[in-house]
Each structure stands twice: as structure tokens, then as C-alpha cells.
Structure 1
């Protein structure tokens, strides 16, 4: 282990939020490994609020990299060459100086294992030429570095200057050979960073990326409580399970972006941007959700269309039964609809079949895939 990140002792471990003690968890774009917890960047909207560790600013490790790697590849939901992988995207930033050695070590371990899985590293921190050299040395995994950029100027909302992400993105794109770089434009909040000027700056920055992915604000009650405690104006009147971005805002954003950066495709979904960057089908099977494809280049659309097919009903039925689903699944032209499966099992099924899997009790309505229903803006 790097000397800058210590392994916490049993007493400290008992104080860690129970949801963080297991370092392996499925998230939307892949199976996520997070055995280092703690981040000093203090972004007000950080998902760490949900795990009760926002005030833990010093990164600490739950175990060694090697132990985490073995636990990850032996996880019940990990499938070699299939499961998309995410590193340190829940409780720290993978490119922090004390975390970065572990990021490179895990990439090395995954690569030496001969795995060809997609691997996503999401950062808003500093990347160096030496980092790029090490990324390019990887031979097997399909690596994507997603650089989080918002253009938010308010230090109460985002203390870290967006110029850091800008510099990292430019450097990554300049040196990219075996890896790909995505501009992760988020969170976009009406009235805060969605002016014509903000969009124009993002469009110019997109020319230094292989693809752009954008999204709204993930605004849960824990984040809203932090906003209230810090006197930060609340951007919406209510919280939501899914990300918030009003439809009319999205349409205006796309119109301005595409007029200024027509050669850098923009996507609503992370896996779509990653798939385009690597010239492969979308591993999340979004092709059936046709309205998501409106910004997709024709060549990529054809790639996804060729690979996308309804699953065999017997195979699907057996898979649902083995995972503990209630009743029989319903297959539509858009998705598989199941009942009784949590996100972990639905994502496992989704990546196994390359077809969207939705919860019958949390329906996805047309043109609202991943978009929260409560949209009212109070800025």
C-alpha cells in the first residue's frame, strides 16, 4: 500500500457507514470497486452525502489493493470480459495524490489478469503526463477516463476550480493512444451553469474529448439537507430518486452545443459515450430506448442496432428465477420488466443480456429514462 493511505483498524471500521464496508457494489454503469474512502474536494452535491461520510476528508483504505482485487474478481456478479468496471467512484476521487497509486495498481492488476472489460475511471482532479503514459501501457482492458466538468463558479457549491478538470481533459486527449477520454459534463443546474456562455465553453472543451456525456443534478434528501445547512440556495423545490434536468433545458442545451461542436457527439448516458469512444455496442442495451439515440452518430447507431436483440425467453426466465424475481418477466421492444429484483441484480441481468432491465414498480416513461418527474426550478 502507498504510505499516504493507511488501512483503517477494526475500531475505525466499526464507525464506517455499513454501506461502505463492502467495497464492491453495482452502480448504473458498472460493478464498482471502492476500498478507499474519504475525499477532501467538498463538492456540495457529492454522492458521499448518501453514505454519511462527507466529513471524512482524509482517504483511508479498508484493505490492500490485492485483497480488494481478489474480492472484486470473485464477486458473484463479476463476469470476465463482460461486466463494466468502475474504480473509486463512490467515496473518493481516483486521481487524488494519495489515491492515484492505488488506481494505477488496480488497473495493472486487471490488465495483467488478461481481462478485456470496459474500465471507467471518473475524476475531476489533476492528471499528469506520467499518468497518461501508464494508461497507455495497459494492453487488455478498455480504459476510459471520464473527466467531470461543470463550469460552476460558486465555491459554496463547488470549491474546486473547473480549470483543473479542463487542464486534465486537454492533457488526456493529447496523449490518448490505448485509452479514451470523455468530457463528463455534470451536474447541469438551471440558473447556475446553463447560460449560453456556459454551454459554449463546454462545447469548445468537447473538442478535446472522444465523446461528451451530460447529466443533471442528483438531488437526494441528504444533499438537500447539506444545502440547507450551508445556506446554499436550493435549485429545486423537491428531491428525487433520479437526476433532475428539465426537458426544455435539455433541448436548449443540445441545440446550442450541437451548433458549436458538431464533430464531438454528445450523449445522455455514460455507457453510450463510452461505447462510442471505443467503437463498440452499448453494454447497457439502451438501443431499445429510442429517444436516447437522437444525438447518436449513424455509424454508432448501426453498431448498437446490429448487436441489440431480444433475449431468449427460456434463458431470461431461468435467469430471473435464479435471481429471485417475482413472477415472469415481460419483454418489450424497449426493455425487460421485472418485479422483486434490486438494482444489483437488475444491472447484473442487464449486462449479461445487453438489454435494458427495469423495475415494474419504478417505471421508465417515454422520454424520461433516468429523468426525475419533479422538475420545478426555484432559482
Structure 2
């Protein structure tokens, strides 16, 4: 894109490096033709951008990433093209490998998450496997939604790609069955759950999660006459309590040696690489109660509860966090206030390997980090 075209983009679209919960995210290629109605691009004013276009060269983008104040070599988890396009689209794949190979040549060992619904080939697997340093995880997004008005792109594409990528071997990269978004009445029948259980064997681990139903997405649903999944919107993903119970029951019937199920992305990614959870969820018992014993041991050995002083010292590196105040630190999490956004909170979590919660947006017991919708039996 020309400099003039880039300057005309919405402000958030121009910010090609952004911290999201599962990693520092690089998005210098924007635009996607897949047309999923629930896409997060609605919230970035990018929905109408259906043709992938690069805002800058891949080399410039990687430099912005590694020079960013949030980036820590060998430590910060990274994501590539998870906000505004699919990394395995024909016009995006070359940019993806240029970024991965650049990071790898620098000798960086950071975790790198690549989320896709797209077609992954044998040649792609070969190139991914040739990366000697970065810890790549492919997360194959699968919903099983049959309504083409909501998800026009067939879920079968991700299934075939996941089977191929997982069967390729030996391999250094890891694969995740990324089961999302789960929406009551849309893709949660007994048949849907049974199919997902069967597909989960084709990955190193499974993560399930719900729908981001923000105001912008709800507006799009109404304007296009789509069935509205919920009567209200929420800033967090929606996973109703009864849906989670049914999912856990369905997966409980798998063979003992089946790949495990997780509630959180970072837990699954870390498990797949034999590492403790980089988001520091250990201590949140209601998240860990489905984790394999070996993974719990890894996380327990790495678990360190920081002091308030250590939190303040870590925040001191960030100009935007100078007003942060530590309210309380427990075995579960640190509670803070005074942060201007989620991004510095994610930085602190990853730097300390420990949960950091904002008092303005509390994490309630059992529905940790999820919307209140469908959890009326819990407080808050």
C-alpha cells in the first residue's frame, strides 16, 4: 500500500504490532475474503477490506516487532496475522514464511502462534519444519458451523490441513485443534460435539472457546438479518456454563491416551512444546482441573508468585504503566489498577509468567476471563 493509503486507514489498523492475550501480534498484511460474520475485523473497521494488502515490507514489519518495547528475545510469545487476514491465503503465505524465516535467522526461540482456517500443503510443512529456532504452533480453527451466511468458508479445509500437518513427521512444529467459536443452538448439538471429539485426535492438543460478540459484530448481524446468538454483547468471549459442561462430558469419554483438552490457548500451546504455561494460569484451580498431570507438574515447578515490588519494577519499563497500583497478590493472581489498556497487562503476565488482573475487569471464579452471559449461577 502507498503511504497515503496507509495513512487513511483507521488508527488501530495502522498499528501493525499489538499485544493480545496469547502473544505480541504482527499484522502488517490486512484484508481477508473468507467472510466469517463473527470476525474480529469488524472491531478494527477492516471488514470491507477483503483483499490482502501489505502496509509495509516484511523486513520493516519484523524490525517493528523486535524493536517494540513489549518484545523480549526468547521470551515474548508472538502471533503472526491473527487479526486481519489468514496466514495461509495464497497472497499471504509468502509474507508468513518471510516473517518466520527472518525471526528464525536471528536465532530467536520465542513461541510463535499461527492461526488458520486455510489450506496447508506438504511444502508448507517442509518449510515450517526447517525452522531451527522459533517454536511454531499451528492452530487450526474449526467451528463446524453449517450456516454459510455466518461462516462461508468450509470447516473441512482446516480439518484436511490439520490432518496433513499433524501426520507430517518427524516435525518440530506443533498442531492445535482450535475449536471455536462455539455458539449454543448453532454448532453445539450432540452430533457436533461427537465430531469434534473425533477430530481432536488429529492434533497435539485441543482448545475450546466461545464467541466474541462485540457491538460492531452484533450490528453486522442485525443489518444482514442473521440470527443473533445472544441478546446482549460482551467485551469477553461467551462460553455458557451448560455448554462447557457438555463439552467436558463429551471429551471425558475419549481414550486415556487421547490428546488433552484445554480451556486456554496458552495452556495448549505450552503443553504441546513440553513447557509450562507462559500465561501463568497455574493456581487458577478451576482452569487446571482438566490438565494432564505431567503438565501440572511443569507449571507447578515454574510457578513463582511475584512480590508487589517486582510487579512495579516490571511495569517501570513501560511509560504507559507508571500509574499502575498493586492492590493484592495471591497464589492465583495479582490484582492491579491504573493501566490504560489490556496491552501492558499482557506484557506483565508474560514477563512474570503469572496472572495479572485488572480490578476494573475482574476475573470471576470458575468463569475466569469469560463473559457473565450464561453464568447467572456465579457471582458478578
Q: Which TM-score band applies after superposition, normalised by the shorter structure? A: over 0.9
1:129-168 correspondence to structure 2 within 5 Å: 129-168=122-161
Q: Which runs of 4+ in 1 moved over 4 A?
A: none
Residue in structure 2 matched with residue 348 of structure 1 by the alignment:
347
Kept after mapping to 2: 8 A contact 1:38/1:57 = yes
Kept after mapping to 2: 8 A contact 1:125/1:168 = yes
Ranges in structure 1 where 5+ consecutive residues have no aligned partner: 1-7
Please give the alpha-carbon distance, in whole angstroms, between the structure 2 residues aligned to 1:321 and 1:362: 22
- Find 1:328's aligned residue among 318, 326, 329: 326
Query: Is it true that 1:178 corresponds to 2:178 in the alignment?
Result: no
- Secondary structure at 2:114 match in 1: strand
Residue in structure 1 matched with residue 298 of structure 2 by the alignment:
303
Of 212-221 and 312-321, the range deviating more from structure 2: 312-321
Q: How many residues align?
A: 370
- Find 2:83's aligned residue among 81, 84, 90: 90
Query: Is it true that 1:238 corresponds to 2:259 in the alignment?
Result: no
Residue in structure 1 matched with residue 203 of structure 2 by the alignment:
209
Residue in structure 2 matched with residue 4 of structure 1 by the alignment:
none
Residue in structure 2 matched with residue 32 of structure 1 by the alignment:
25
Residue in structure 1 matched with residue 336 of structure 2 by the alignment:
338
The alpha carbon displacement at 1:230 in A equals 1.1
RMSD of the alignment, in Å?
Answer: 1.3
Kept after mapping to 2: 8 A contact 1:206/1:261 = no
Cα 1:79–1:329 shift into 2, 3 Å? farther
The alpha carbon displacement at 1:16 in A equals 1.2
The alpha carbon displacement at 1:261 in A equals 5.4
The alpha carbon displacement at 1:320 in A equals 3.5
Kept after mapping to 2: 8 A contact 1:204/1:261 = no
Residue in structure 2 matched with residue 104 of structure 1 by the alignment:
97
Of 330-339 and 306-315, the range deviating more from structure 2: 306-315
Ranges in structure 2 where 5+ consecutive residues have no aligned partner: none
Q: TM-score, normalised by structure 1?
A: 0.95
The alpha carbon displacement at 1:376 in A equals 8.5
Kept after mapping to 1: 8 A contact 2:19/2:25 = yes
Please give the alpha-carbon distance, in whole angstroms, between the structure 2 residues aligned to 1:313 and 1:249: 37
Please give the alpha-carbon distance, in whole angstroms, between the structure 2 residues aligned to 1:26 and 1:298: 30
Please give the alpha-carbon distance, in whole angstroms, between the structure 2 residues aligned to 1:86 and 1:55: 23
Q: TM-score, normalised by structure 2?
A: 0.95
Residue in structure 1 matched with residue 16 of structure 2 by the alignment:
23
- Secondary structure at 1:121 match in 2: strand
Residue in structure 2 matched with residue 5 of structure 1 by the alignment:
none
The alpha carbon displacement at 1:321 in A equals 4.5
Kept after mapping to 1: 8 A contact 2:326/2:334 = no
Residue in structure 2 matched with residue 249 of structure 1 by the alignment:
243
Residue in structure 2 matched with residue 226 of structure 1 by the alignment:
220
The alpha carbon displacement at 1:371 in A equals 1.2
1:248-327 correspondence to structure 2 within 5 Å: 248-260=242-254, 262=256, 263-322=258-317, 323-327=321-325
